[in-house]
Structure 1
Amino acid sequence: MKRMDFLKSVAWVAVMPAVLFAACSGNSEQQAAGAHQQTYTCPMHPQIVQDKPGTCPICAMDLVPFDKNNKDATLTLGESQITLANITTTVVGTGALSNFRQLNGRLVTNPENTAVISSRVPGRLEVLYVKETGVKVIKGQPLYRIYSEQLAALQQEYLLAVAQVKQFPDDQKFRQIEQAAKQKLLLYDQQEAQLRQLTAAGKVDPYVTYTATASGIISQITATEGQYVSEGGEVMRLEGYQQLWAEADVYPAEAALVRVGQQVKVLVAGYENEPQQMTIQFINPALQTGSQLMQIRGTVPNPANQWQPGQQVNMLLPLASKGNVISLPVDAVIRDGKGAHVWLETAPGKFAPRRIRTGMEDFDAVEITEGLKEGDKVVITGAYLLYSEYILKKGADPMAAL
């Protein structure tokens, strides 16, 4: 019996290495199979990982393949890829940074550049040379023609006075009468050239053409052809757009932040790349009717008439400023629930994420308080594409590796 137990033990010792080798080989094959098994993730939700194609249970996007064993936290792109992705970089330096508060506003007509065209004499409008609003006119351009019996009577009076002066050139009384009659016509906006034509013709002309007293845009026409207008009656209105008012709304709690003479930046909608510097000229001391808003106002130049009254503007009110700080464009910073990071070009075509902390921020730039130093080469356009490319290739959030 003891001999049989001894033989069994010897046999088990003999086969044990083979059994262990087969088990190890099986584990190695399983590990190799697992290492080469394709995995899939969601481009928007990298926490979703599957071993087969499908859709994301969160956003229903198609899952994309990725290499879960690639632990390198950098991305390497070719020159053509960098060009197509519009990836540009800048070398970090220090400078000044200001913080602003955005105020909503609008452009309005400057009444100082508004001219009212009124009838100098009572009469009937025979012709309106401009019959619609929005038409641009220049100074001296004919606007309307009027028939005036009163003007005809004054012209006749002037012709008689001129004739008397010619007949009695040494009579000072007749000369004074002639000057008085001429002055009346000048007050009715008759020009010297028109008076010379009148004396040369020797007969009255009750039809008078009036011209624009200023250049501008016709904003309103209040009379029609054939209408009788009184002396001083409004015919049309001209508005000049070479300067416009920029008005913005301010809450009473913000009133302490503004003052007359303060410099602000104005961004016209659609022309944000052409900021205008403006000086606050007026602060309305009363709230607008039916609201809890005050108004501030200033003048912005508009020499090319590229802006029109009614356009929306953003007025940037400076609140604080810092000097000698590191700042980056806002689009260079990627933010998520785990913090903020930027992308650095560590070598030509090689990019790596860097965790940062941010400080003061305005609409264009953000202060970097930690994570960067002068001389770092930071991606300022295309950073989000690098972020997406990292998720696609690595199947993980870049912040997880920082």
Structure 2
Amino acid sequence: MQRADFIRIAGMALLAPALWLGACSTGKKKQAGEAAVTYTCSMHPQVVQEGPGTCPICGMDLVPVSAASKSKSLQLDKNQIALANITTMRVGAGELGNYKRLNGRLAVNPEHTAYISSRAPGRIEQLYVKETGVPVRKGQPLYRIYSEELAGLQQEYLLAVAQSEAFPDNERFRQIAAAARQKLLLYDVPAPVLDRIRQQQKTDPYLTYTAPVNGVVAVLEVAEGQYVSEGSAIMQLEDYDRLWVEADVYPAELDQVKVGEQVKVTVAGFEDAPVNMRIDFIAPALQTGTQLAQVRGTVPNRGQRWQPGMQADIYLPAGNKDSVISLPTDAVIRDGKGAHVWLRKGRDRFVPQMVKTGTENFDRVEIREGLRTGDNVVVTGAYLLYSEYVLKKGADPMAGHAHAHE
């Protein structure tokens, strides 16, 4: 009996390593069959690691992705498509306007600039606007001045009026009174103020001057209590409702620009809202110290959303290209690996497609390779698809991608 037990125990001891190896092998096969989970950064898909953590580039928390997800497409339901504002268009060959871009900038239109200067010597008794950047309306009080010279002219006016009233039949006295009144009007003393002075028979050395136009206080030259002479600068008002667009052009390109020509203008940060402009002026001489001429036009600035000094581009028509496939510029995503678009396959599947671009204007870009007539291309929401792909797949949608059409 003891011999039988010994043989059974010895046999089990010999079989244990084999069973253990078999279990390990089965475990490994199970692990190999499961999808390996890695972590990546949604902003930098090149960052990949096996455990959770933060991105060494931007510091964002890494998100889990499945290494088994090899599909190059994205599946979105109807609600996701609507929420991302994804729209598509069927592409086809057509005409693409070609433009030459001139670098420019927005500038103040001096024709709409008002320079406020003192009409009479005196002391600035009160400033109603004490800082630059403040908008003012026509007729709004700007400053109050104390002027002994104005008081003297008012006294002369009262004497002339009294003399004219004492001798109503004397034409010369009437002319003297009218001349004294006109002199005060030329000093911008309002007619109602003169009527009040005549009625009350009393001079007023204090006079309030108002804004002659609508505008923004761009320059303020004086302070309260300061004495000014006749003609001294008080402030400068600028109207930003219409701005100049000035652009530089090389002399060899001047034959492409003509006064009166209609062009397109885009302002930095507002590329999606181009405006039409007429070329009003071409400088007859090059700018000092440069080999550049200057062209200029005027654009409306509704709501004063633009500020002088902002970068602006002028697009000169340079002919059209026929029978080309083109897309809105926002439909094409560019990165270090090239350019790609998103194709819609069926109702809910989206596939990235690498393309080669060609001529580009302010709102469209030519597609030379990668698309064919009839393809259903995403024109809004392409960047959201790109971000969604990186978030779900943990990789660039163009990694290892070629121009071949799927």
The TM-score with structure 1 as length reference comes to 0.73
Q: Give the CA deviation at 1:195.
A: 1.4
Aligned length: 360
Please give the alpha-carbon distance, in whole angstroms, between the structure 1 residues aligned to 2:258 and 2:130: 44
Q: Secondary structure at the match of 2:185?
A: helix
Change (3 A) 1:330 1:108: closer
Q: Deviations over 1:39-71 (max 9, x none)?
A: 999999xxx9xxxx79xxxx9999976569x8x
Q: Give the CA deviation at 1:139.
A: 1.5
Aligned position for 1:239 = 238
Letter in 2 for 1:397: G
Aligned position for 1:315 = 314
Q: 1:1-400 alignment to 2 at 5 Å?
A: 78-79=77-78, 82=81, 87-323=86-322, 325-333=324-332, 342-351=341-350, 358-369=357-368, 372-380=371-379, 381-382=381-382, 384=386, 397-399=400-402
Please give the alpha-carbon distance, in whole angstroms, between the structure 1 residues aligned to 2:238 and 2:215: 5
Q: Secondary structure at the match of 1:160?
A: helix
Aligned position for 1:22 = none
CA contact (8 A) 1:74 1:350 kept: yes
CA contact (8 A) 1:353 1:398 kept: no
Deviates more, 1:262-271 or 1:374-383: 374-383
CA contact (8 A) 1:107 1:309 kept: yes
List alignment gaps of at least 5 residues for structure 1: 1-31
Aligned position for 1:12 = none
Change (3 A) 1:82 1:392: farther
Letter in 1 for 2:296: R
Change (3 A) 1:270 1:62: closer
Q: Secondary structure at the match of 1:176?
A: helix
RMSD: 4.1
CA contact (8 A) 2:37 2:64 kept: yes
Please give the alpha-carbon distance, in whole angstroms, between the structure 1 residues aligned to 2:396 and 2:227: 81
Change (3 A) 1:133 1:166: same
Q: Give the CA deviation at 1:198.
A: 0.8
CA contact (8 A) 1:261 1:279 kept: yes
Q: Give the CA deviation at 1:83.
A: 5.8
Deviates more, 1:238-247 or 1:256-265: 256-265
Letter in 2 for 1:365: R
CA contact (8 A) 1:391 1:397 kept: no
Please give the alpha-carbon distance, in whole angstroms, between the structure 1 residues aligned to 2:156 and 2:204: 13
Q: Give the CA deviation at 1:138.
A: 1.5
Q: Deviations over 1:176-210 (max 9, x none)?
A: 22222222222222222111101111122222222
Q: Deviations over 1:139-170 (max 9, x none)?
A: 11222222222222222222122212222222
Please give the alpha-carbon distance, in whole angstroms, between the structure 2 residues aligned to 1:394 and 1:107: 39
Change (3 A) 1:217 1:353: closer
CA contact (8 A) 2:65 2:394 kept: no
Change (3 A) 1:332 1:110: closer
Deviates more, 1:369-378 or 1:181-190: 369-378
Letter in 2 for 1:345: R
CA contact (8 A) 2:337 2:398 kept: no
CA contact (8 A) 1:338 1:399 kept: no
CA contact (8 A) 2:265 2:276 kept: yes
Aligned position for 1:14 = none
Aligned position for 2:3 = none
Q: In percent, how many aligned pairs have the same letter?
A: 55
CA contact (8 A) 2:369 2:403 kept: no
Please give the alpha-carbon distance, in whole angstroms, between the structure 1 residues aligned to 2:324 and 2:248: 32
Q: Give the CA deviation at 1:222.
A: 2.0
Letter in 2 for 1:144: Y
Please give the alpha-carbon distance, in whole angstroms, between the structure 2 residues aligned to 1:194 and 1:270: 49
List alignment gaps of at least 5 residues for structure 2: 1-28
Deviates more, 1:376-385 or 1:308-317: 376-385
Q: Secondary structure at the match of 1:226?
A: coil
Q: Give the CA deviation at 1:232.
A: 2.2
Please give the alpha-carbon distance, in whole angstroms, between the structure 2 residues aligned to 1:306 and 1:334: 28
Q: Give the CA deviation at 1:38.
A: 7.5
Q: Give the CA deviation at 1:96.
A: 3.2
CA contact (8 A) 2:126 2:145 kept: yes
CA contact (8 A) 1:92 1:377 kept: yes
CA contact (8 A) 1:146 1:207 kept: yes
Letter in 1 for 2:135: K
Deviates more, 1:251-260 or 1:169-178: 251-260
Letter in 2 for 1:283: I
CA contact (8 A) 1:391 1:398 kept: no
Aligned position for 1:8 = none
